A and B are shown apart, each in its own frame.
Chain A
Amino acid sequence: MRDIILSMKGIEIAFPGVKALNKVDFSLAKGEVHALLGENGAGKSTLIKCLTGVNHKDAGTIVYKGKEINPSSPQEAIELGISTVFQEINLCQNLSVSENIFIGRQPMRAGRVFWKEINRRASEILERFDVHIDVTRPLQHYSTAIQQIVSIARAVDIKADVLILDEPTSSLDENEVERLFGVVRELKRAGMGIIFITHFLDQVFEISDRITVLRNGNLVGEYAADEITKLELVTAMIGKDMIKIFDLKPPTVAEGADVMLAADRLGAPGAIDEISLTVKKGEMIRFAGLLGSGRTETAQLLFGVVKPTHGQMTLKGKPTVVKSPSDAIGKNMAFCPEDRKRDGIIGDLTVRENIMLALQSRRGMLKPIPRQEQQELAEKYIKMLGIATPDAEKKVGELSGGNQQKVILARWMATDPEVLILDEPTRGIDVGAKAEIQRLTLELCANGVSVVFISSELEEVIRCSNRILIMRDGKKAGELDGPFGEHTQSDILKIIAGEGASA
């Protein structure tokens, strides 16, 4: 039987406009690796954040080692024995490896920091994890893989009982993943409970004992890893949504329509090896696939955020090289990025300013858009997208996530592009708005705009696209041509799970 060390019941958290967690349960046992799965926006990080003291829950209980807890700060969580290893390594790059493990609690001798002891013990701990390095070198000298293990070593030395690994394998190669898993197995043997957040399904099956799946803030189910198949898992993660979308039809593409954008084995190191695709005028093509499968990287290559090092791209039949976003905008392309905080909103600027920014960039510094026109533009899109703001002069940083996303969408729509690339534009938006956005993009197609739409929501993906490209592990795994029918959804799931035939 499972020796439960942590039990979360009925957790509810709501942000303005969106219910992030809706009565979610989660439990963890000693010596167990429990994977937490779900696409972005599913609620995984929100759940973890209320365990690590960053978010406050509105309802529900957390029972840890028999006592109810409610950590109010990361400090408190660490003291309770809950440690986290984040994707962005939360250590100090300028300090040595051994120091990172011991800082704040260095052993002292005669009033001086006992360096010899620190280095000795650090080497010892790391050797337990089969890592043999010079612990006196600064942390930044080592790869992310090693740094993660150092992070874990610190948690272990502090005697944590629960270890949360947040997307630990995203930047690791096969050997490094193996080594990490060796560490995890060692910790399991020692009785630690480990929460493993990832989107790599093969790894989930390799290392975990139990799996919990979240979707759109709801608990889909908790399973034993050896009792569920990959297909069932993928279906649980992104399968049939209970919510109906309006009766939307895919855009009609004229027979001899021109090819607007074509990429032939486009790629760049660190992004995508190579991708080939074509988009016709007025077409809506969708990118399906799990997070991390290479969809965003493809978009970044097309738009010039990352410069391609090999391969060809043609725009309206002419070979082009897109050197930068500025270049792309000049060529009538538009890109609505996935990470709206980092690449999207300019928080201190108003809604109006955010909306007309790309348009203004294209016009250049010396030809400002008249205030009247800006106002009209802003009002037009506020109405069209249903942006909840008292007026166009509110700072974008003060809006809710969903509304921020709409503002960014408006920014790109305002440039009247010929090719529009959208990366998860409906994530974190309420259902009604999702439908609105779908309808709008279809209207754009009807007006001759070519749309590349990256999304995890299969229901919408199938309903309104002309073609679907499925990505898996950084490569194109399949391409399906419309019209689509009953079987399409399961076909897509199979390809994502790796069971279907590739195109």
Chain B
Amino acid sequence: MCVHKRSVFAKLSNPKYIMVLATIGIFLVIYLAGALAYGGKGFTSVRTFLNLFIDNAYIGVSAVGMTMVLIAGGIDLSVGAVAALTGMFIAYGNSVLGIDPFLCIAAALVVGVSLGLLMGAMIQYLNVPPFIATLTGMFLARGSTALISAESIGISHPAFDALAKWKVVLYAPSFENGFEWVKVKPTAFINFYVLLFVFMILLGTYLLQATRFGRNVYAIGGNEQSAKLMGLPVARTKVLVYGFNGLCSVLAGVAYTLYVKSGWCQSLSDMQLDVISSAVIGGTLLTGGVGYMFGTFCGVLLKSLIPALITFNGNLLSWWGKIATGALLLLFIVLQRVVVASSDKKKH
């Protein structure tokens, strides 16, 4: 059993990578299918690809925090509600109270993180199951949003709008008249929320892979009892994880609000479902201890590919998307189960 040089294959067959590889693989398969079917309509353009990022940045940002919570062995149902609350803070705070929107964002951060820490404390010290504790948090946030205003409020503020509109345009050479004219045309652009999404993914990756905190999260999710016996700061870590997720929910709310430029108590009502599904498709085990930020990143993209395909098709009811997502989830869940079951049997 003297394995010093790890072959690429051996490294890849490490079970934790299998799930992420599956995600990437299926993404490529579906993308290819889309390319074959709708390549002519522009499915394969850079713009379409970047739109996946733009339209789903808020889910991606939230998925960063949710991945961490799931790895720790918990779950958080309050993400949509906190994001909506953030939107309302900005909308009401600015349009009605005249407060600078960035101050509103700061206030939302304080509230969101505090709620997260509170839920974490309930889970850790009062032994309330995470499902129930975060459900309560969700009701609280949702209700507070409705209490602030029952109607949708628009946002219009120069700095805020500027941020929403800001983009970096990508140019690419395009050939016209058969190589005689090489023009540079704008093909696509990146804007603030895309950057936010990518930044959060990178931050999440750093936290999970390069800090003791992140490694403790993995340990707790893997076996909380063992983690305790090994002397890890279980209580503190668990509470902080929910606090961090609160931060992500608020940032997701900011991204979404920049997108729709309004705050409404009924927005993002299914967000937690989308976020959890993305994480699961990205290879995060709902039982805890396993998950990668990169996997989640791919999961978000993969999940958003389906509505994109349906849009391009134009004939299918959008509801087929829900069924397709459900089928995708089933596939990944069964795959997870198979991988876990077979790695239990296979031992050196």
Q: Which chain B residues border A90 with CB–CB below 8 Å?
A: 223, 225-226, 229-230
Which residues of A in the span 46-99 have a Cβ within 8 Å of any Cβ on B?
Answer: 74-75, 78-79, 90-95, 99
Main secondary structure of the interface of A (DSSP, over half): loop
Contact A143 B347 (CB under 8 A): yes
Pick from A74, A78, A137: contact of B14, CB below 8 A.
A137
Q: Chain B: which residue is nearest A134 at the CB level? A: B3
Contact B232 A93 (CB under 8 A): no
Which residues of A in the span 120-141 have a Cβ within 8 Å of any Cβ on B?
Answer: 132-134, 136-138, 140-141
> Please, how many angstroms separate the alpha-carbon atoms of A133 and B6 in the complex?
10
Pick from B4, B212, B289: contact of A94, CB below 8 A.
B289
Pick from B209, B216, B226: contact of A91, CB below 8 A.
B226
Contact B230 A103 (CB under 8 A): yes
Contact B229 A103 (CB under 8 A): no
Instruction: For the complex formed, measure the closest distance between the CB of A98 and the CB atoms of chain B, giving whole angstroms.
Output: 11
Which residues of B in the span 195-245 have a Cβ within 8 Å of any Cβ on A?
Answer: 206, 209-212, 215-216, 218-219, 221-223, 225-232
> Please, how many angstroms separate the alpha-carbon atoms of A456 and B229 in the complex?
33
User: Any chain B CB within 8 A of the CB of A487?
Assistant: no
User: Any chain B CB within 8 A of the CB of A14?
Assistant: no
> Please, how many angstroms separate the alpha-carbon atoms of A103 and B220 in the complex?
11
Instruction: For the complex formed, measure the closest distance between the CB of A145 and the CB atoms of chain B, giving whole angstroms.
Output: 9
Q: Which chain A residues border B228 with CB–CB below 8 Å?
A: 74
Q: Chain A: which residue is nearest B214 at the CB level? A: A113
Q: Chain B: which residue is nearest A144 at the CB level? A: B347
> Please, how many angstroms separate the alpha-carbon atoms of A137 and B343 in the complex?
12
Q: Chain B: which residue is nearest A137 at the CB level? A: B14
User: Any chain A CB within 8 A of the CB of B348?
Assistant: yes
Q: Which chain B residues border A99 with CB–CB below 8 Å?
A: 215
A132-B1, A134-B3, A138-B16 known; A95-B219 Cβ under 8 A: yes
Contact B347 A78 (CB under 8 A): no
User: Any chain B CB within 8 A of the CB of A104?
Assistant: yes
> Please, how many angstroms separate the alpha-carbon atoms of A127 and B344 in the complex?
26
Contact size range, B:
35 or more
Contact size range, A:
20 to 34
Contact B1 A133 (CB under 8 A): yes
Contact B3 A74 (CB under 8 A): no
Instruction: For the complex formed, measure the closest distance between the CB of A323 and the CB atoms of chain B, giving whole angstroms.
Output: 22
Contact A103 B232 (CB under 8 A): yes
> Please, how many angstroms separate the alpha-carbon atoms of A161 and B222 in the complex?
28
User: Any chain B CB within 8 A of the CB of A420?
Assistant: no
Contact A142 B212 (CB under 8 A): no
User: Any chain B CB within 8 A of the CB of A350?
Assistant: no
Pick from A103, A134, A136: contact of B215, CB below 8 A.
A103
User: Any chain A CB within 8 A of the CB of B2?
Assistant: yes
User: Any chain B CB within 8 A of the CB of A367?
Assistant: no
> Please, how many angstroms separate the alpha-carbon atoms of A94 and B223 in the complex?
8
> Please, how many angstroms separate the alpha-carbon atoms of A143 and B347 in the complex?
5
> Please, how many angstroms separate the alpha-carbon atoms of A113 and B211 in the complex?
6
Q: Which chain A residues border B225 with CB–CB below 8 Å?
A: 90
Contact A104 B14 (CB under 8 A): no
Interface centre among A79, A106, A144, by most chain B C-beta atoms within 10 angstroms, is A106
Pick from A79, A92, A133: contact of B219, CB below 8 A.
A92
User: Any chain B CB within 8 A of the CB of A2?
Assistant: no
Contact B348 A113 (CB under 8 A): no
> Please, how many angstroms separate the alpha-carbon atoms of A78 and B227 in the complex?
13
> Please, how many angstroms separate the alpha-carbon atoms of A334 and B49 in the complex?
65
Instruction: For the complex formed, measure the closest distance between the CB of A389 and the CB atoms of chain B, giving whole angstroms.
Output: 28
A78-B231, A104-B230 known; A94-B209 Cβ under 8 A: no
User: Any chain B CB within 8 A of the CB of A371?
Assistant: no
> Please, how many angstroms separate the alpha-carbon atoms of A133 and B226 in the complex?
23
Q: Which chain A residues border B227 with CB–CB below 8 Å?
A: 92
User: Any chain A CB within 8 A of the CB of B307?
Assistant: no
A103-B232, A133-B1, A134-B3 known; A91-B343 Cβ under 8 A: no
Contact B216 A104 (CB under 8 A): yes
Contact B344 A140 (CB under 8 A): yes
Q: Which chain B residues border A146 with CB–CB below 8 Å?
A: 348
User: Any chain A CB within 8 A of the CB of B130?
Assistant: no
Q: Which chain A residues border B250 with CB–CB below 8 Å?
A: none
Q: Which chain A residues border B222 with CB–CB below 8 Å?
A: 92-95
Pick from B15, B16, B226: contact of A92, CB below 8 A.
B226
Contact B210 A138 (CB under 8 A): no
User: Any chain B CB within 8 A of the CB of A244?
Assistant: no
Contact B343 A140 (CB under 8 A): yes
> Please, how many angstroms separate the alpha-carbon atoms of A91 and B227 in the complex?
7
Contact B223 A113 (CB under 8 A): no
User: Any chain B CB within 8 A of the CB of A112?
Assistant: yes
Q: Mark A408-431, 1 if CB is under 8 A from B, else 0.
A: 000000000000000000000000
> Please, how many angstroms separate the alpha-carbon atoms of A94 and B285 in the complex?
11
User: Any chain A CB within 8 A of the CB of B105?
Assistant: no
Interface centre among A99, A106, A134, by most chain B C-beta atoms within 10 angstroms, is A134
Q: Which chain A residues border B219 with CB–CB below 8 Å?
A: 92, 95, 103
Q: Which chain B residues border A154 with CB–CB below 8 Å?
A: 230
A90-B226, A92-B223, A103-B219 known; A143-B212 Cβ under 8 A: no
Contact A93 B14 (CB under 8 A): no
Q: Which chain A residues border B16 with CB–CB below 8 Å?
A: 94, 138
Q: Which chain A residues border B4 with CB–CB below 8 Å?
A: 132, 134
> Please, how many angstroms separate the alpha-carbon atoms of A144 and B232 in the complex?
23
Contact B218 A132 (CB under 8 A): no
Interface centre among A93, A146, A154, by most chain B C-beta atoms within 10 angstroms, is A93
Q: Mark B176-205, 1 if CB is under 8 A from A, else 0.
A: 000000000000000000000000000000
A94-B221, A113-B209, A137-B14 known; A104-B232 Cβ under 8 A: yes
A103-B216, A104-B216, A113-B212 known; A134-B344 Cβ under 8 A: no
Q: Chain B: which residue is nearest A86 at the CB level? A: B229
User: Any chain A CB within 8 A of the CB of B64?
Assistant: no
Contact B223 A93 (CB under 8 A): yes
Q: Which chain B residues border A144 with CB–CB below 8 Å?
A: 347
User: Any chain A CB within 8 A of the CB of B290?
Assistant: yes
> Please, how many angstroms separate the alpha-carbon atoms of A172 and B1 in the complex?
16
Q: Which chain A residues border B229 with CB–CB below 8 Å?
A: 74-75, 90
Contact A142 B221 (CB under 8 A): no
Q: Which chain B residues border A111 with CB–CB below 8 Å?
A: 210-211
> Please, how many angstroms separate the alpha-carbon atoms of A95 and B230 in the complex?
13
> Can you list 30 A-B pairs, Cβ within 8 angstroms, ordered by A?
A78-B231, A90-B223, A90-B226, A91-B226, A91-B230, A92-B226, A92-B289, A94-B16, A94-B221, A94-B289, A94-B290, A95-B218, A95-B219, A103-B216, A104-B212, A104-B231, A112-B206, A112-B210, A113-B211, A113-B212, A113-B215, A134-B3, A134-B6, A136-B6, A137-B14, A138-B15, A140-B343, A142-B347, A143-B347, A143-B348
Known: A93-B222, A112-B210, A113-B211. 13 other contacts (CB 8 A): A79-B231, A90-B229, A92-B219, A94-B16, A94-B289, A103-B219, A103-B232, A104-B230, A132-B2, A132-B4, A138-B16, A140-B343, A141-B343
